[in-house]
Structure 1
Amino acid sequence: MTADHGVFAFAHVGDLHLERSSDPHAADLRAILAEVDGLHGHGLLDFAYLPGDLAEDGRAEQYAVLREALRRHPDLPVRLIAGDHDRQHGTMTDFDALFAAVAGSPRGGGHAARRHDLPRPHDPAPVTHYYFAETFAGVRCLFLDMVSPGYGRKGFGLDFRLGPCQLAWLAEELARADEEGRPCAVFTHTYPDDLCVPDEKAALAGLIRHHGVRLVEMGHTHYNELAPDGRTLYAAARSVGQNEDGSVGYAVAAIDGPVTSWRFKPLDRALPFVMITSPADRRLATAPLAMADGRISVRALVLSDRPQGDWCCCVRVDDGRPHAMVPDGPRTVHARIPWPEGARRLAVTVTDGTGQADTEVIEPVGRSFVPPPAPDRPGSDATRLPAWPQKGLRGDQLGPNRNGRPW
């Protein structure tokens, strides 16, 4: 378990689809890792998450591009899982070597692959699985493997599965987290609804909803998407390697007490970056607004490569006067402010002495909020939000996996 920073926060670097080190998206990856490593060095992020589809064809020479990029940042914690492209040619031998080198190292948490016997008519040998768990800042993080238990390969089609061993492990982990009072985040390549086995699809979505998992963070879509269901925020980030969705960059997600937040950080937008982590926006809320004596607490995560002493942060309600925010931890600022009857918007602005500024605006949830009922297709994109530019959402689902784009 890592040190408790108060607010759990990580960077999600979307599907890489690496081929050659000379490719533009390999250069984008190197720039993203440099920025994220600097932020981690200031204690502002817990790790970088790589959600699978790391290599276009799952080959050793493609993973070598990632290894070289990571070698430049030996102190950056990285948590990675497999995607369908990581077994594009029916084998995961080269991914296995990457997992052993990264996940099996101090920077990767020391996680080892597991071997399970599964009923596989084309390959009756024991199957290697790549799933693991870890606790960061009080949040239990569960990293799933939807790929190695399946049969998919290039020309055969996608075949996302979990297998009974992994499902049993997940159920035990979630139950234990409940007993310990820990919130949970699940990291996976795609939505539970994309699993091929109906019973597994229902089981995974049911476990997530039953245990109130706070966040499910995914790749695969190639576009930014948020699909809150009143209990869980399903969040996907745009691809780095096959991007039709806008400026390349990385997503930032955080869990702050009862609130889960998410925002995309474009690489072509200079730091600083700010994300309100409490209260919840009405679109992402799971509980009513907490207010006492006509006041609310506001907290925001600040990402900057400048010392905290250089930060200048303020919060404004609608068009009212600014209220100063002060640090309440190594990565967050805080203020307790009046919330007048009928107020609608909350804006937090940060500057850090570089001449750059960033602002996030949300619409806080109301005090009469009631979570919606379970969706008809739990664990799917059925509850996805429309365009939300402040968060980096275009709302058009560009990419190869929903609209058949030609990648």
Structure 2
Amino acid sequence: MAPMPDPLVFLHVGDLHLTKPEARNAGDFREILRQIDGIAPKTAFDFVYLPGDLAEDGCAAQYRILTDALAAHPHLPVRLIPGDHDRQFGRMDDFRAFYADLAASRTVPAPTEWDLDRPPEHVAPDAEVWPVETVPHYCACEDIRGVRCLFVDIVSPGYGRKGIGLDFRLGREQTLWLNERIGEAVDEKIPVAVFMHAYPDDLREPDERLDIGGLFFEAGVRLVEMGHTHYNELAHDGHTLYAAARSVGQNEDGSVGYAVAALDGPVTSWRFKALDRAWPFVLITSPADRRVATRPATAENTGLERDAQGRIRVRAVVLSDVDPRYVHARAGTGAWHRMTRVSDRVYEVWLPWPREARTIQVEAVHPDWTGHGPDFVDTDVIAPVTEFDGPDVVALIPDKPGSDVPNIGAWTQKGVRGDQLGPNRNGRKW
């Protein structure tokens, strides 16, 4: 079969909630950036994503911590959006100043200004006519590695304040923009990944919740990558994988770290990298695991097409500070087969696929591995689709599209505990 292009690969560093330079979360963030900037080669991933809630109180002194941390890694590609804590006191002046300084020193998308009907504090909430205000939206549309990446701002259009509660919104202009960009991608058969702070079901207006969740499902958006939950979570509705990564700043979910996600052909994959785990790190990017495979499941859209010898193509991204000593794969408990590096970010092998096999395992070994112990060796395991759907099978739109209802629960191999410990579900109030 023809060679496949490189996948989109990004690293997701969860909500920072920065407070003071000497705080533990600030130190953890600096160490995460140092580790990421040590990945070799530098082209092994496309960008680092920060999903909002950068500063605990949205104030200038807290953004200075972020500015200084990023300045130590000037060539690290970064994409970021605001979260509700970046509007903690009903304004975003300090966030906007921080973003303007960031744009002066590295390449980030410029905000888009749109007019919104929004009531300032001196206007009664039940007023029939709300004044129009021009509001910068920190959204962007970029096509990266053949994937349409849409960064969506659900905070700037809101007008919430601390103590009032969440106020996630899109607004009319941003909703139209989002519909148009996704519609163009569907027409051009371009896969779509959306980056936002929270699930669409967390939007304040019920109509927006249903409109956006339904849009993502019908358009077959491949991935929606989010923060806000504070815990690792994967939810899959048959079309779209919703993925949230644990917070760096308010963490009850386990070791601090960052998520690694990839879109490789028709397959979407995701796994959490703990900061305290030594290199290397492995993410199987094809075939798809049955828990996150697109429905209807076919050989083509699960990455399980066979070659003339009945073998399947297994692909993996391996992140490390140096080239691994070797990377190999096996089906079930079968023999190991050495994988070949086919680009700066992908290892590949054509693997015999016996009928009784139920798992695929990829293992990478660091040159420093001594031959025993868990450090300097890493393994990813998936359970691929073993039975394909018939032609009449379709994925049904869920009752609450764009929500965590179809979450897949615990998946420890991917770093997902499934207990939803965080301030928005079952954890501390912070």
Which bin holds the TM-score, normalised by the shorter protein?
A: over 0.9
For residues 77-116 of structure 1, what are the structure 2 equivalents within 5 Å?
Answer: 77-102=77-102, 104-105=103-104, 107-109=106-108, 111-116=109-114
Percent identity for Structure 1 against Structure 2: 57
Distance 2:82 2:40 in 1: 23
Tell me what 1:351 maps to: 365
Asked if 1:274 is matched to 2:273, the reply is no
Distance 1:117 1:386 in 2: 40
Larger mean CA deviation between 111-120 and 376-385 belongs to 111-120
CA deviations on 1:6-63 (whole Å, 9 max, x unpaired) are 1110000000000111001101000101111222753111110000000000000000
Asked if 1:44 is matched to 2:33, the reply is no
Tell me what 2:234 maps to: 226
Asked if 1:201 is matched to 2:209, the reply is yes
User: How many Å apart are 1:372 and its aligned residue?
Assistant: 3.6
* TM-score (norm: length of structure 1): 0.95
Asked if 1:156 is matched to 2:172, the reply is no
SS at match of 2:405: helix
For residues 160-199 of structure 1, what are the structure 2 equivalents within 5 Å?
Answer: 160-199=168-207
Tell me what 1:23 maps to: 23
Counterpart residue identity of residue 131, structure 1: C
Distance 2:190 2:145 in 1: 10
Asked if 1:363 is matched to 2:363, the reply is no
- Choose which of 106, 113, 117 in structure 1 pairs with 2:115: 117
Tell me what 1:302 maps to: 318
Tell me what 2:305 maps to: 291
CA deviations on 1:347-404 (whole Å, 9 max, x unpaired) are 0000131211100111011241456422111100000011111000100000101126
Runs of 4+ in 1 over 4 A off after TM superposition: none
Are the counterparts in 1 of residues 289 and 385 from structure 2 also a CA contact under 8 Å? yes
Tell me what 2:72 maps to: 72
Tell me what 1:375 maps to: 398
Are the counterparts in 1 of residues 232 and 243 from structure 2 also a CA contact under 8 Å? yes
Distance 1:187 1:106 in 2: 23
The change in CA–CA distance for 1:277 and 1:105 in structure 2 (over 3 A counts) is: farther
Larger mean CA deviation between 35-44 and 180-189 belongs to 35-44
User: How many Å apart are 1:5 and its aligned residue?
Assistant: 6.3
Distance 2:68 2:242 in 1: 31
The change in CA–CA distance for 1:220 and 1:23 in structure 2 (over 3 A counts) is: same
User: How many Å apart are 1:210 and its aligned residue?
Assistant: 1.7
**Residue ranges of structure 1 left out of the alignment (5+ in a row):** none
Tell me what 1:325 maps to: 339
CA deviations on 1:289-313 (whole Å, 9 max, x unpaired) are 4232422110000001103xx4411
**Residue ranges of structure 2 left out of the alignment (5+ in a row):** 122-130, 370-375
Distance 1:259 1:319 in 2: 24
Counterpart residue identity of residue 316, structure 1: R
Tell me what 2:128 maps to: none
Root-mean-square deviation (CA, aligned residues, Å) is 1.5
Asked if 1:259 is matched to 2:261, the reply is no
Distance 1:311 1:179 in 2: 44
The change in CA–CA distance for 1:188 and 1:97 in structure 2 (over 3 A counts) is: same
Distance 2:21 2:359 in 1: 44
Distance 1:378 1:35 in 2: 36
Larger mean CA deviation between 385-394 and 124-133 belongs to 124-133
User: How many Å apart are 1:108 and its aligned residue?
Assistant: 3.5
Distance 2:239 2:60 in 1: 40
SS at match of 2:204: coil
* TM-score (norm: length of structure 2): 0.90
Counterpart residue identity of residue 81, structure 2: I
Distance 1:182 1:250 in 2: 27
Larger mean CA deviation between 18-27 and 396-405 belongs to 396-405
Please say which structure displays the higher CA radius of gyration.
Answer: 2
User: How many Å apart are 1:183 and its aligned residue?
Assistant: 0.8
Distance 1:70 1:40 in 2: 19
- The aligned length equals 400
The change in CA–CA distance for 1:5 and 1:63 in structure 2 (over 3 A counts) is: farther
- Choose which of 408, 424, 428 in structure 2 pairs with 1:385: 408
Are the counterparts in 2 of residues 231 and 371 from structure 1 also a CA contact under 8 Å? no
Are the counterparts in 1 of residues 330 and 351 from structure 2 also a CA contact under 8 Å? no
Counterpart residue identity of residue 352, structure 2: P
